[in-house]
Structure 1
Amino acid sequence: MEENFNPVAQTRANYYTPGSPVQFVCVELLKGDVSGEHAVCLTFKNISRVTLTALEIHFKCKGVDGVILCEDKFEYRDLQVKPGELFGQDDAVFITAKAITSVDVSLCNVYNGKRVVHLDGIKRVRLPAPRRLAPELQKTLEARMNRTGLKYQPQVFENGWYCACGAFHPTEEDTVYCSECGCDRILLQNALNTLLQPAAPADEMEMPLSAPAAPAASAAVEEPTRIVGVAPTAPTAPVEEPTRVMGAAAYQPKAAPVQPISEPTRVLDAAARAPISGAAAADEGTRVMPAAAHRPAPAPVRQPAPVEDDDEEYEDSRDSVAEALIRWVPPITAILCAAIALCGFVYYQFVL
């Protein structure tokens, strides 16, 4: 009598066999809708690069109290399993009316035509349990990857990697695509990292835009400090600095407020046209004596200020000559060069 078996429970394998071309994927428990018996089906995957033709395994089925209900070998024959394909999920290896709590599977021999790989002596390696994602993160990840069943956090180990669907892919499989859900490992990990990364606050994101304004403000404060600080360094800076840098036009506003200097300058021009008196001739070093001759005081006071003013006039005359040279020498030089070039052009065109 034929009977339909419906799935009752499914558990993924928590260990694998290193170097094996076949991976034990999961065990599924089915129950008959008429007899109520339990059937055990095992699922395997070809992780090699060749087509597999047969597989021999050894399994143990245990009951509720840990008693072994069945221990036997099972053979999958006449297979044509290509790389990456699953097989064995339609074959029941054991049927019993008792409840089954655990199944232990060991790989024995794998066949590729006449070639056989013996796996009896290889020790199995237990896998770490996959980490479950939060329900909100799971929904967001499934929407981002356009997949369902992404319940676990993808993890990469030395011997393989876990997909978000819970499937383990050993290093022997050498793939970045999950054969069960179709996810790309790199894209999956990047999507999860993006979701786990906390969003930057709005004020922190605006900091780089307003940060450059601080150096500009400090520069505006420091610039007048450097310019004004030049004057106190030397006593003659108020007189010499405008003469060398700004020219005669900038010098007048600073020299005008000094009355003792401007007054002897006008008297000195008048003294150059009139003969010097005997008292003034006796003291030729003091050029402000003609202005003092109009005063009733017989003894003139020697002042060094007119000497500085005379130096300023001399510097002003030199500045005017320098300004004239700076203004006219470049255009005259350009005209002479153009004339020389034109003469050379005419000479080579019409003479030679």
Structure 2
Amino acid sequence: MEENFEPVARTRANYYTPGSPVQFVCVELLKGEVSGEHAVCLTFKNISRVTLTALEIHFKCKGVDGVILCEDTFEYRDLAAKPGESFGMDEAVFVTQKAITSVDVTLQNVYSGKKVVHLESIKRVRLPAPRRLSPEMQKALEARMNRTGMKFMPQVFENGWYCACGAFHPKEEDTVYCSECGSDRILLQNALNTLLQPEEPVRQPAPQPAAQPTASAAPAEEPTRIMGAAQEEATRIIPPRPEVRSAPSFAPAAPEATRVMSSAPEQEATRVLPRQPEPVRPAAFAPDESEEKYGTRVMPSAHIAPPSRVQAQPLDEEDDYEEEDARDSIAETLIRWVPPITAIVCAGIALWGFVYSQFVM
């Protein structure tokens, strides 16, 4: 007597066999309406490019506490599974009265006409668990894709990709379309990326007041103003005018000018610019008291150089020449003997260091 079975539970496979033309998709647990027995049905999918005619598997059903309830081999014969087509969901491989908690399936042989692919020696690869979407994200993705059951996050791995419906497609399948829900992997990923991006309205910059451009232009004018001040400073500070050389007939007065410059070098920075020479006055006129006090102007005589800075109490020519000769002789002596002495001292230090390093160390 035939009996109707209602689905009780459905679990997707969490591993796959690399290189296999068949993929183990899921296991379903059905319960009879009359007998109450539990039937186990397995679903497989043809992921190759040829039609499959037979499949041999080995399954193991476990109950509570991991107790093995059944371990047997099952054969799917007289198949005509085309590429991308699923099969096996209508055939029960095991029926029991006890509760079943897990089913382990191993692919053995796959047939395509007379050709056979042996899969017993291939090690199965465990799949990572799919990531569940939040209820809000699930509703938004279903509305955007116009489909239901979009519960998981689409993911791409080295050995395949997960669809939002939870179906895994190994790389051997070589497709971008989900065989269960029909979603396009690329469109699905783009839709999810759009939903994950924060939706922030594009804010236009508020119109700036009319006074702000003027305020912002002020810093641009600041360098111009500073540069102008610097240019005025450079124009205002001018180098001192060169002294007016007197005629060759005034040559005897040159030593006096040289002495004055050498005796007061520290006053060179504050030297007052000499005024233009004035007409020669008779020697009978004595210098003014203010001129002797400040030393800013000296009335030149017929044989004296143009105005220059001199001391209020000029010395006699003989004393002046003696003081200048003494300084020149000392300077000349230093210039002559300091370099040789320095060279001799340095050579001695270097020789001592060489002797010390060769014979002492």
TM-score range, shorter chain: 0.5 to 0.7
2:93 is aligned with 1:96: no
> How far did 1:10 drift?
0.5
SS of 2:204's equivalent? Answer: helix
- Deviation, 1:224, is 4.5
Classify the secondary structure of the residue corresponding to 1:194.
helix
Equivalent residue number for residue 107 of structure 2: 107
Match of 2:11 in 1: 11
Partner of 1:338: none
| Aligned residues with identical type, % of pairs | 76
Q: Give CA deviations for 1:314-336 in whole Å, capped at 9, x if unaligned.
A: xxxxxxxxxxxxxxxxxxxxxxx
Deviation larger for 218-227 or 133-142:
218-227
* Residue 88 of structure 1: how far off its partner (Å): 0.6
Q: Please, which runs of 5 or more residues in structure 1 have no aligned partner?
A: 238-352
Q: Structure 1 CA distance, aligned partners of 2:92 and 2:178?
A: 26
Task: Please report how far the alpha carbon of residue 49 of structure 1 lies from its aligned counterpart in structure 2 after TM superposition.
Answer: 1.1
Look at both structures and tell me which one has the larger radius of gyration over its CA atoms. Answer: 2
Provide the rounded CA distance (Å) in 2 between the counterparts of 1:32 and 1:20: 33
- Return the letter of the residue paired with 1:220: A
1:52 paired with 2:78, answer no
- Cα distance in 2 for partners of 1:235, 1:76 equals 104
TM score, norm. by length of structure 1: 0.61
State the partner residue of 2:43: 43
Instruction: Report Cα offsets for 1:67-100 as digits up to 9, x if no partner.
Output: 2111111111111111111111011111112211
What is the CA–CA distance in structure 2 between the aligned matches of 1:101 and 1:214, rounded to whole Å?
Answer: 77
Instruction: Provide the rounded CA distance (Å) in 1 between the counterparts of 2:217 and 2:87.
Output: 78
Distance in 2, matches of 1:231 and 1:155, equals: 67
Provide the rounded CA distance (Å) in 2 between the counterparts of 1:59 and 1:188.
35
The aligned counterpart of 2:358 is: none
Matches for 1:301-312 after TM superposition, within 5 Å: none
Candidates 217, 220, 233, aligned match of 2:217:
220
Q: CA deviation at 1:206?
A: 2.9
Alignment correspondent of 1:169: 169
Inter-partner Cα distance in structure 1 for 2:154 and 2:169: 11
Going from structure 1 to structure 2, the CA distance change for 1:78 and 1:140 (only over 3 Å counts) comes to same
Report the Cα distance in structure 2 between the residues aligned to 1:214 and 1:128, rounded to whole angstroms. Answer: 62
Q: Which amino acid aligns with 2:96?
A: T
Give the deviation of 1:235 after TM superposition. 8.9
Q: Partner of 2:198 in structure 1?
A: 198
Secondary structure (helix, strand or coil) at the match of 2:11 reads strand
Shift of 1:221: 2.3
1:175 and 1:86 map into 2 onto residues whose CA distance is 15
1:153-203 deviation per Cα after TM superposition (whole angstroms, max 9, x unaligned): 11111111111111111111111111101111111111111111122366x
Structure 2 Cα separation of the partners of residues 65 and 8 of structure 1: 20
Partner of residue 156, structure 1: 156
Distance 1:126 1:8 in 2: 25
- In structure 1, the residue matched to 2:137 is 137
In 2, Cα distance between equivalents of 1:214 and 1:92 = 84
User: Which amino acid in structure 2 is aligned with residue 4 of structure 1?
Assistant: N
CA–CA separation in structure 2 for the residues paired with 1:183 and 1:215: 55
TM-score by length of 2: 0.60
2 CA distance for matches of 1:117 and 1:52? 11
Amino acid at match of 1:46: N
Runs of 4+ displaced beyond 2 Å: 199-202, 213-237
Cα shift at 1:9: 0.7
Where structure 2 has 5 or more consecutive residues not aligned to the other structure, the ranges are 236-361
SS at match of 1:153: coil
Cα 1:235–1:171 change in 2 (3 A) is: closer
- SS of 2:195's equivalent? helix
Deviation, 1:228, is 5.5
Change in CA separation of 1:175 and 1:228 when aligned onto 2, cut-off 3 Å? same
One-letter identity of the residue aligned with 1:76: Y
Q: Is the partner of 1:191 in helix, strand or coil?
A: helix
Deviations along 1:276-307, one digit per CA (max 9) or x if unpaired, are xxxxxxxxxxxxxxxxxxxxxxxxxxxxxxxx
Going from structure 1 to structure 2, the CA distance change for 1:231 and 1:10 (only over 3 Å counts) comes to closer
Deviation at 1:226? Answer: 6.0
* Cα distance in 2, alignment partners of residues 215 and 76 from structure 1: 83
Moved more, 222-231 or 40-49: 222-231
2:281 match:
none
Instruction: Measure, in 2, the Cα distance between the counterparts of 1:231 and 1:176.
Output: 71
2:23 partner amino acid: Q
Residue number in structure 2 paired with 1:119: 119
| CA 1:218–1:21: 2 relative to 1, 3 Å | farther
Shift of 1:138: 0.7
Which residue pairs with 2:87 in the alignment?
87
Match of 2:259 in 1: none
Question: Secondary structure of the equivalent of 1:78?
Answer: coil
